[in-house]
Amino acid sequence: MAAAGGIETIMVAAGRSRRMGAVNKLLLPVDGVPMVRHSAMLHLRIASPVSVVIGADDHAAADALAGLDIRLIANHDVDAGQQQSVRIGLAAADLNGRGLMIALADQPLLDAADLEALIAFFDAQGGTHICVPRHKGVRGNPVLFPTALIRPLRAEAGALSLRHFIDSHPEQMVWFEAGNDHFTRDIDTPEDVVRILGVAVSGD
């Protein structure tokens, strides 16, 4: 499948995953590969370039991503929260295409058809609006931004979270009404692993 030209991805894969206990959720197997690799491979099918922000000390995640045509970006302050990873990713973005997708690494139900539908919706809006997926009223990820809005987002990212930036610019945002719950389901707890992947893990 050819990549959709002009769409860039920043994937956030840095975090302590404290609710998972001792389990590194990025390494959970999805279709025979670690989840972080599965997610990166998915985005490589529909976007270029793909950058993945990981914890600077998460050598296991780096190993899981080895050999992929991605840009690895190290977050040296994981405890500062997800917004720190977003800021780092945005600072490294190329901004040479028509849109930039800010994605999570822990949404294993997403597939290429889901992301292609989001991109098609973005293009149908003229490529000028922030497209936020939702399903049955539940907000989801990834979010697709027009490249023209990334520089203002960079400027405000230090003070506002990504969600607050979007909510403070309602005239520039449209909802993408997803046909399934793939955009709204991510893995944060051992219970999520059971519900989404159908396997049991221990956080002890």
CATH number at residue 129: 3.90.550.10
Examine residue 28 and state whether it is found in any structural domain, yes or no: yes
Q: Which domain holds residue 16?
A: 7-197
How far is the C-alpha of 157 from the C-alpha of 195, rounded, in Å?
Answer: 33
Instruction: Tell whether 203 is covered by a domain.
Output: no
How far is Cα 9 from Cα 107, in angstroms, rounded to an integer? Answer: 15
Question: CA–CA distance from 23 to each of 1, 125, 190, 195 (Å)?
Answer: 33, 41, 9, 16
Residue 163 lies inside a defined structural domain of this protein: yes
Written as tens digits, the pLDDT of the chain (204 aa) is 434 459 999 999 987 666 666 778 999 999 999 999 999 999 999 999 999 999 999 999 999 999 999 999 999 988 888 889 999 999 999 999 999 999 999 999 999 999 999 999 999 999 999 999 999 999 999 999 999 999 888 887 666 688 888 998 899 999 999 999 999 999 988 888 989 988 766 655
Element (H, E) at 166: helix 162-167
- The reply to whether 133 falls in a domain is yes
Per-residue pLDDT at 184: 97
Q: Residue 136 corresponds to which tokens in the numbers above? A: 């049955």
- Whether 50 is covered by a domain: the verdict is yes
State pLDDT tens for residues 24-73: 899 999 999 999 999 999 999 999 999 999 999 999 999 999 999 999 99
How many domains, the chain? 1
Q: Looking at residue 158, what is its pLDDT?
A: 64
* Within a domain: 2: no
Going by their DSSP bridges, the two strands 138-139 and 130-135 should be labelled as: antiparallel
| Residue at 204 is within a domain | no
How many CB atoms are located within 10 Å of the residue 113 CB? Answer: 12
Which pTM was predicted?
Answer: 0.91
pLDDT at 83 (0 to 100): 87
The answer to the question of residue 1 being in a domain is: no
